[in-house]
Structure 1
Amino acid sequence: MTEAQASAHPNVLFVCVHNAGRSQMAAGFLNAIAGDRVNVFSAGSEPADRLNPVAVAAMAEVGVDIAANEPKILTTDAVRESDVVITMGCGDTCPIFPGKRYEDWELDDPAGLPIDQVRPIRDEIKRRVEALVAELTA
């Protein structure tokens, strides 16, 4: 990320434990809704080997393709470079830096759930991302 990118648009980092479901869905929605008005990143404290296939399928149902994404490890630099850090069930594993906006979104983990139970999680993530976009781009 260049300094020009950092100053032109807010950097948003979504963090969950495995970076395979919730944070990937949130990043997918933010990319789809905000486009190039926001720089989007996601990571996990203990990344999985691959995305949750049910989360991928749930997102595909609403026209957001996250199938090519891969879980990434959370780094201190990723947090440091972000303006907004949104955690989803990762507890105290996320480093805290002064001057950053932190939010914790309490959402059920879609891991191991059937798609009919993942859809409401997906829809709640979308609702929260839409509200975030409205705030960041106002």
Structure 2
Amino acid sequence: MSNGQVNTNFGGDGNSLWFDGGSAEDNSRYAITQALDVSHGGTISFDLIIGNIIGNSNNGGENADSGEDLALEYSIDSGISWIRLGLYDTEDYISWKTITETIDTDAITSATQFRWLQLNHSGSGFDNWAIDNVHIDLV
């Protein structure tokens, strides 16, 4: 995890992984799983909210700017390369929503990593986001 911490800033189901830090010049807000055995396929689901901590407790009072979306990616080569599984628009996640993605056929391995990455942001204190209740359902 980079520029994130366990926090309750957005409410939800208690603690969540909340991302705030870093400068606007880097793309350093992310969380990466360890290598997981998803060799039988299945789905990955999680709750997502995008906003800012200043203001109300729902989305923090400020929506992230356009283009500061969040991506879910996977890697089958120990994080050397990443392939996008989903892209989540800032305007669609101003309150907690559950997302479920089917694990791509190419991602079905015994050592797949998943990464949540904010593509751009305006720096520390802006365009915060959080994930919670990450779950993988295998078939």
Question: Does the alignment reach a TM-score above 0.5?
Answer: no
Could you tell me the TM-score, scaled by structure 2's length? Answer: 0.24
User: Which structure has the highest strand share of the two?
Assistant: 2
Larger-gyration structure (1/2) = 2
Could you tell me the TM-score, scaled by structure 1's length? Answer: 0.24
User: Which structure has the highest helix share of the two?
Assistant: 1
